[in-house]
Structure 1
């Protein structure tokens, strides 16, 4: 849609408010709502003013005037607001009309422009699989007098002995993959989420209960171009959270909210096209992958330690990325091993669906920054012809846990903490600066924000420390 079509939609659908949305550096959305009668064509030319100093990672108060520039193509009718409301995603501009270099959405768009400028491809397609939990209750506190969290779910295995009405159908620890009702208590919720996603423009492919107890879920939606997929992922999270709230429940995309059971990842499928021609397919080659696709994988794995500072940017991320479990911590590629950082889907694959799957990321990532960084790493691999086979990244099609100690020792792992990932990003970020997609200021700002989070966590007394040390 363009601006005129938006105004026509406002009139025909009797829209009363228009909600303009932006995203901060960390990936949280923010909005301002304007009565529909005050929105006209000039709104799409001049934008909407806001105070950038109030958002994490943006401007200081001395230079806080900024502009939201609406993207008409992103518009959808909000299903959660009583008054008919149209939501529109915006880019962030400086007052002089230039792109604000720290705007995550603009960084994603610059990555797509850079791809076209290289002449290697005309489009990059991304398809994230964002897992989440739906809980019935969550409580947490972190203060000088105490620190704790407590979660609960009607289907959690720890409630088999709960008093009162208890029907006994609980999801066993690591036993939640594909159970039918009544064990799966959340089919209706996922159905409603999927319906609203479809109405908002997402092409939902399937949904199901995931492996963990206590309401782990997955809903897959169809891939799209890089920036549009990042838009869609934020819309996806918005719908998931609000439908859960409607049912009196709460949804979280934290990677590891439960101790001792599977965490939530965000496997990201990626491919390059030149017009309608897929560039990652070569019949008869390993996993039917082209040399370009292998070099793309080489770039992802070579830069993975630095990438992970953007794709797994929380201290909680590394509670999921623990060696010895199913978590994709091994910096290898494989056509069948789900503990590999890069997996090549081979079931029911056509030339146009040939793709690579980076399994390490999680949904605490800002999708604009994470997808842009993955593309830049892959393009660096293509330009430098980084062959993952020659660099020692596989393929490894055996069960990694059954390898000998010598074989395991040869496999590199992801960083063990957010601090280590940030160290890697400080040492390896030139590939992100190509084409001015990321700037040194953006990277330095990101590292500063994340190191501050680490300090907060490290300085907070953990209940486990009482268990370990109180009586020493």
Structure 2
């Protein structure tokens, strides 16, 4: 169809960055939700050329779902958006399927037309149960509720920044084709910090970074990673819910840019044996009255007793949390000590094999880095489990807790067993959601070889929750 008669909104990247940073500042200032709603509805009404609003939410495993609402319909019916929850893995049963989507107007983004289509804006949704309360299996809603409670009760702002690694492979839908090809093809073999200007990996990184910048990510640095065709694009710290949202957007942007270039951005933790896997190092801190509570110039490793208490609670619950932080069969290939794997349940300022690292910091940047997180994990589950454990967990009576010879599981079956038997996991998610999550992980694991072996096998890719689609799931 000819585009002659179309006149949908297409903003420059500079205009997009200005608009998105303005909305980001409103989030930082904790602007009243009613005022945010009023402002965004006015923006949509007054801005010509917006045809649709894409509403985003995530299922229990962290897979991103999107649906488009016509702008005029959304403006008039934003408080009555329903969907069939029984079609979402880990959500409701068929007999009780109706759920509602509320809109988190503070998590609104103006979208680049060349990536998301002209005339579109994005907003994250909150899944609402039939009784009007946040839906227990929507971990974004649970994370937001927990963060708000911490702010109201203690004045705490929970902050996070994630270093998300991925691979760029030749060909569109390389993961879905893996069952037939049995291999991934690199687009660059250069390795750490090495790529020529204009090569496919560099062009991909540059383009994705430009999109992130336009969407208000406030980029810091980007580069090829250690393994061939591996990348990492870093951006600034954010409040915990926005940080988790940005993880979902980061992966969405990377996948879309790669597809437009005829390639695949993969966030499998270990898609290729024999080279370093991909992680999602999770840096966290807590501020109160703009003061970093994890900093102590005179403390051990220059972090505060509160930060060490936070660390000790996570180390105590290391095996309880493992299935949430390493959410797939493939993730346990990454926990291999031969490739700088963070599989030791200990804390260290220097040992990158530790589950937790204390990076060099100052009053502004002091933080705790949880390294044993796969890039395919549900970001809302990761940040909820890290912060809730660090603040409300218990410290176990384990001799030499911070340096004990303890290791994370090397296979998903042990992780599932630990998770099912964990009382803390039940307190973290609620027993119902805990059971649903474990059942989903069990179903995927049971479709794969029980022993990992030395090569990546088709089922661990084909039945991976990020790669999952109904056609592939039916081929078993």
TM-score by length of 1: 0.83
Q: Paired residue for 1:205, among 220, 223, 226?
A: 220
Offset at residue 201 of structure 1 (A): 1.9
Matched, 1:310 2:310: no
Offset at residue 88 of structure 1 (A): 1.0
Tell me: CA distance 1:339–1:18, structure 2 relative to 1, closer, same or farther (3 Å).
same
Q: Paired residue for 1:423, among 417, 424, 429?
A: 417
Offset at residue 6 of structure 1 (A): 1.8
Contact 1:376–1:431 (CA under 8 A) maintained in structure 2: no
Tell me: CA distance 1:98–1:451, structure 2 relative to 1, closer, same or farther (3 Å).
same
Offset at residue 118 of structure 1 (A): 5.8
> For residue 50 of structure 1, what is the aligned residue in structure 2?
83
Offset at residue 141 of structure 1 (A): 5.8
Q: Paired residue for 1:241, among 255, 261, 266?
A: 255
> For residue 19 of structure 1, what is the aligned residue in structure 2?
54
Offset at residue 29 of structure 1 (A): 1.4
> For residue 111 of structure 2, what is the aligned residue in structure 1?
78
Matched, 1:393 2:402: yes
Q: Secondary structure at the match of 1:453?
A: helix
**Can you list the C-alpha shifts for 1:279-334, whole angstroms capped at 9, x where unaligned?**
11111222101111011110111111111110111010001101343111111111
Tell me: CA distance 1:461–1:429, structure 2 relative to 1, closer, same or farther (3 Å).
closer
> For residue 370 of structure 1, what is the aligned residue in structure 2?
382
Q: Distance in 1 between matches of 2:295 and 2:418?
A: 31
Structure 1 residues 272-283: aligned runs within 5 Å: 272-283=286-297
Q: Which has the larger radius of gyration?
A: 1
Tell me: CA distance 1:218–1:38, structure 2 relative to 1, closer, same or farther (3 Å).
same
Q: Distance in 1 between matches of 2:445 and 2:323?
A: 12
Q: Distance in 1 between matches of 2:368 and 2:397?
A: 15
Offset at residue 458 of structure 1 (A): 2.8
**Can you list the C-alpha shifts for 1:147-206, whole angstroms capped at 9, x where unaligned?**
6522112324xxxxxxxxxxxxxx2xxxx1111416964222212111111111211111
Offset at residue 272 of structure 1 (A): 1.1
Contact 1:111–1:375 (CA under 8 A) maintained in structure 2: no
Q: Distance in 1 between matches of 2:254 and 2:175?
A: 19
Matched, 1:256 2:277: no
Q: Paired residue for 1:67, among 81, 93, 100?
A: 100
Q: Secondary structure at the match of 1:447?
A: helix
What is the number of residues matched between the two proteins? Answer: 418
Q: Distance in 2 between matches of 1:286 and 1:297?
A: 13
> For residue 74 of structure 2, what is the aligned residue in structure 1?
39
Q: Distance in 2 between matches of 1:203 and 1:463?
A: 40
Q: Distance in 1 between matches of 2:338 and 2:405?
A: 13
Q: Secondary structure at the match of 1:208?
A: strand
> For residue 162 of structure 1, what is the aligned residue in structure 2?
none
Q: Paired residue for 1:122, among 152, 156, 172?
A: 156
> For residue 353 of structure 1, what is the aligned residue in structure 2?
365
Contact 2:275–2:339 (CA under 8 A) maintained in structure 1: no
Q: Secondary structure at the match of 2:406?
A: coil
Offset at residue 3 of structure 1 (A): 2.3
Contact 2:296–2:302 (CA under 8 A) maintained in structure 1: yes
> For residue 226 of structure 1, what is the aligned residue in structure 2?
240
Tell me: CA distance 1:259–1:32, structure 2 relative to 1, closer, same or farther (3 Å).
same
Tell me: CA distance 1:431–1:282, structure 2 relative to 1, closer, same or farther (3 Å).
farther
Contact 1:139–1:150 (CA under 8 A) maintained in structure 2: no
Offset at residue 28 of structure 1 (A): 1.1
> For residue 4 of structure 1, what is the aligned residue in structure 2?
38
Tell me: CA distance 1:367–1:464, structure 2 relative to 1, closer, same or farther (3 Å).
closer
Offset at residue 117 of structure 1 (A): 6.2
> For residue 462 of structure 2, what is the aligned residue in structure 1?
none
> For residue 149 of structure 1, what is the aligned residue in structure 2?
182
Offset at residue 462 of structure 1 (A): 8.8
Contact 2:411–2:452 (CA under 8 A) maintained in structure 1: no
Offset at residue 461 of structure 1 (A): 11
Q: Secondary structure at the match of 1:186?
A: helix
Contact 1:194–1:219 (CA under 8 A) maintained in structure 2: yes
Contact 2:104–2:125 (CA under 8 A) maintained in structure 1: yes
Structure 1 residues 265-304: aligned runs within 5 Å: 265-304=279-318
Contact 1:280–1:354 (CA under 8 A) maintained in structure 2: yes
Q: Distance in 2 between matches of 1:465 and 1:358?
A: 26
> For residue 338 of structure 1, what is the aligned residue in structure 2?
352
Structure 1 residue runs of 5 or longer lacking an equivalent are: 157-170, 395-409, 467-472
Structure 1 residues 423-442: aligned runs within 5 Å: 423-430=417-424, 433=427, 438-442=429-433
> For residue 438 of structure 2, what is the aligned residue in structure 1?
447
Q: Distance in 2 between matches of 1:139 and 1:427?
A: 33
